[in-house]
Structures are given as structure tokens and as C-alpha cells.
Amino acid sequence: MEWPELLDDMQRRLDGVGAMLREGAAPPPPFAEPGPMPPLPPELAPRAEAILTATEAARRQVAEAHAALGAALRRAADGRPRRPAAYVDVRA
């Protein structure tokens, strides 16, 4: 794998995280390290830095969504008794 392909893959994954947060889409597959890579070409450094910045922002958004979900689950399980299920026998 070369740097352009790796950066394309990283951008696709970031787009997938965005779709997951915005639309409830399935999360992207886990990132697999590509193995030994040559040094990053200087002309790709701005793109790599932009992807790094976007990755850090996505990580914060995922952490915030995780915290919000945890808070919602705690509110839902606040100990109040729930109404028992009621079933009607329609054959009677």
C-alpha cells in the first residue's frame, strides 16, 4: 500500500464514522495497520495533517455520543417501577 491509498482509506473510514454519528449507520471496519511504509512524501503532509485533525475531532464526537448514551441509559434505569406487561386473550 502506498501513502495516497492509505490516506484515501483513512478518509473513507472518517466519512463512515461521520455517517455513523449523523445517521446511525454501521461503524466502519477496524483499521488494520498497513505494515512498513516509506516516509510520508512532503506533498502529502498537509492532507495527512488534515486527516489527523479530523480523526481527533471524530474521536471527541464518538466520546461525547458514548457519554450521552450512557447518561440516557442511566436515566432510563433510574429505579422507578415499570408497569408490568398486560396481555389480552383475544380468543375469549
Q: What are phi and psi of 31, to 5 degrees?
A: -75, 135
Which pLDDT does position 18 carry in this prediction?
A: 93
pLDDT at 9: 95
Question: Could you tell me the residue ranges of all domains in the chain?
Answer: 1-31+42-48
| Confidence (pLDDT) at 87 | 81
Question: In Å, how far are 3, 11, 49, 78, 82 from 46, measured between CA atoms?
Answer: 13, 13, 5, 48, 55
Q: What is the pLDDT of residue 77?
A: 76
Residue 40 or residue 71, greater confidence: 40
Q: Which pLDDT does position 90 carry in this prediction?
A: 81
Query: Cα(14)–Cα(20) distance, rounded to whole angstroms?
Result: 10
In this prediction, residue 88 carries a pLDDT of 80
Residue 74 in grid coordinates: 442511566
